[in-house]
Structure 1
Amino acid sequence: MDVSSRYRESWEGYWRETSDAPGEAIWDCDPSLGSVPHSELLVPHADTSLPVVDLGCGNGTQTRYLATRFARAIGVDLSHAAIEHARRADTTGTAEFEQLNLVDHDAVRALRERTGDTNVYMRAVIHQSEPQDRPAVAAAVAELVGTRGRAFVAELTPASKAVLQGAVESPGGPPEKLRRVFEHGLRPASVTDEEVPDLLRGAGLEILASGDTALPQTEHLPDGTRIDLPARWFVLAGQ
């Protein structure tokens, strides 16, 4: 199974045209706003002696922090260009990075065979995936956690659409970082409220805890307000 060529090229094009500057990608928030609070939700449920795999790691900002909380951190992304960003940014070799297509079951299984059961961190991947690929993305989480790992998953809710629409309609049009997302054919916040938990349960994952949150972005409205996108988080176990 593979993602569509359009989807793959959208991400390759986006990351090729993104500089190494921290925060240039709209979702590249500081770990203090992402993986730090998320780890506080995951760690009480997790065996931190197991590795953690950051699915959809992008340029690896969150992966590098996760490496300080878990015995080993591996960031994976569909885009080769993203992985190149991540490797350049990780000047001290804190984490490991590799290209991985989450809907390629054989590739996901091969990763788990190398690592054993792992913890998983996944922030805003399902909502950006094409609808036909979302069950495979959820299945990849289940494959990697096995029976001993735990997962933290955060996904945008439909309420994010209104926030994004407001940004698009702001004076001067969409802010630059958001405009770049749309120009590359990426369409955020396209899942329903129940789709994500249904996909996770359908993959055989047990929801241990969940709650509402917001995913801070690195872009602001003309009045200086930071764009924070409504989201829901889940801590999950395999069965």
Structure 2
Amino acid sequence: MSWDTITLDVDTETGVTTLTVTRPEQLNALTVDTLEAIEEALAEAEAAGARALVIAGAGDDAFVAGADISYMVELSTPEAQAYAELGHRVADALESFPAPTVAAIDGYAFGGGCELALACDLRVAAESAVLGQTEIDLGIIPGWGGTQRLSRLVGDETAKRLVFLGERIDGAEAAEIGFVGEVVDDDAFDERLDELAAELAAKPAFATRAAKEALNAVHDGTQRSGLALERRAWSGLFGTHDQREGMAAFLEKREPEFE
């Protein structure tokens, strides 16, 4: 499939897939059409067997600067509910995507852009990146998962400061508070993203998927239910090619050849 506001690039050899929002003149702001395209592209990436998925924004200025304010300004409550549900579907699809997802935060990431990044497994920011849950200054709050995912990532008080004050932080501060896992010099950003995505894609796919499912379950229920899921996921990997190959390679002191 092809879309007007995003691209999906699949490397069939490595399994590294890149989904790029391509509205640089609008700082990659998320319209309804763009969100629907992302939803479709995620399903296509999964069907193509993506082993690592990078989410990026086109141009030099923004990752995703937020939702489309010109669309939101006159929304009724029912219309806003439908828009929120679409944003949640996209974020949930990212969070549950079967392969590791990486937000490549280069430039502005505000509002819905932050929420898109929060739904990814890993976040890498360029030094010049600027991030913020800035909705409060529009008279609203984060509506695509930010009130929930941000607190789990950075802690309650830090999340409340970011949301209540609409603070904007740079890449270094984002790394310091745990919003992103890594901050990279601007000149080395693309190279580091390629390196990380390739490393993730080279890991055994079944084990990585099971690990993601178990790690995500931490937030979905009690520790007891999470531990039960972990046991099932762990034991279910035995007998797979990657489990046999990984352990044989370790014993034979060689590099594994995963499927």
Normalised TM-score (structure 2): 0.27
**Structure showing the higher strand proportion among its residues:** 1
Higher RCO (CA-CA < 8 Å; seq separation 6+): 1
